[in-house]
């Protein structure tokens, strides 16, 4: 079995530290995280979970974790104000789960934050590309990645967006496997930050030219944010990154209707 197939099989396991229960009383809001539990993103997922659990305890919100999209239905998702796709890829989802997720986003039933692996869009392990998800992400298709990883500088393009409050105008990400796509999503999304490809250390020939890494698609009622950076657990020692993550969580978890993106 090839490594990607092994990863996907492992990721279909449910996180038995607690199958999601009905949210408790008195919490500010309720979050569901679809988290990978296998492959080479497992250390990031573990670090993210520890960080999220502490944030939930400190900020009075509830968070549940699942490791398979097979559990997703309209009823299941109705418990939550925010869905976090924590490095989980957009392929191989059962049809009812994909339909429930699409409705959740298209009808603005809650917010969404996706990280890193959520743009692994293409044909993988015999699964076709999820075209709706590609459109949601700006019409992109995964093309390549920097396999040996690289340090790089992220440049904020929209400093007044609520997700960028307290985030410096630029910040360094010390290690990531920067993806490239068949085209920039910029014409179809609102770009909030991009990576300066001239800052790669070591330099790489794998470049896009225009390379957004944080964006939102304002064509959908749900507050949504994609954050590319999400490979190394060391990201949770990066104050700019954790500030972005925290801001995104609170921004995406609240508000509906015509002012949902403000």
Mean pLDDT is lowest, of 35-44, 50-59, 164-173, 175-184, for: 35-44
Neighbours of 118 (CB within 10 A): 24
Cα end-to-end span (Å), the chain:
46
Note the Cα 102 to chain centre separation in Å: 15
pLDDT tens-digit readout, 161-197: 999 999 999 999 999 999 999 999 999 999 999 999 9
pLDDT digits (tens, 9 = 90+) for 244-260: 999 999 999 985 333 33
pTM above 0.85, yes or no: yes
pLDDT at 25: 60
Cβ(45)–Cβ(86) below 8 Å: yes
Q: Where are the domains of the chain?
A: 3-259
Domain 3-259 belongs to what topology? Answer: Rossmann fold (3.40.50)
Q: What is the pLDDT of residue 9?
A: 41
């Amino acid at each position: 079995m090839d490594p990607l197939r092994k990863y996907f099989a492992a990721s279909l396991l449910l996180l038995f530290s607690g199958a999601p229960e009905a949210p408790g009383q008195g919490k500010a809001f309720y979050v569901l995280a679809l988290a990978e539990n296998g492959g080479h993103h497992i250390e990031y997922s573990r670090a993210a979970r520890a960080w999220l659990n502490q944030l939930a305890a400190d900020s009075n919100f509830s968070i549940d974790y699942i490791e398979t999209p097979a559990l997703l239905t309209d009823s299941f998702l109705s418990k939550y104000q925010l869905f976090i796709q924590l490095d989980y890829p957009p392929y191989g989802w059962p049809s009812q789960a994909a339909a429930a997720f699409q409705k959740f986003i298209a009808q603005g039933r809650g917010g969404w934050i996706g990280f890193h692996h959520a743009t692994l869009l293409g044909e993988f392990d015999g699964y076709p590309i999820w075209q709706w998800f590609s459109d949601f992400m700006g019409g992109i298709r995964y093309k390549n990645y920097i396999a040996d990883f690289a340090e790089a500088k992220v440049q904020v393009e929209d400093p007044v967006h609520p997700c960028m409050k307290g985030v410096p105008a630029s910040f360094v990400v010390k290690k990531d496997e920067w993806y490239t796509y068949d085209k920039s999503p910029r014409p179809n999304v609102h770009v909030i930050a991009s990576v300066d490809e001239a800052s790669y250390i070591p330099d790489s020939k794998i470049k896009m030219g225009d390379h957004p890494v944080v964006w939102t698609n304002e064509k959908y009622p749900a507050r949504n944010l994609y954050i590319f950076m999400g490979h190394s657990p060391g990201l949770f020692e990066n104050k700019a990154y954790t500030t972005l993550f925290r801001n995104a969580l609170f921004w995406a978890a609240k508000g509906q209707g015509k002012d949902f993106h403000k």
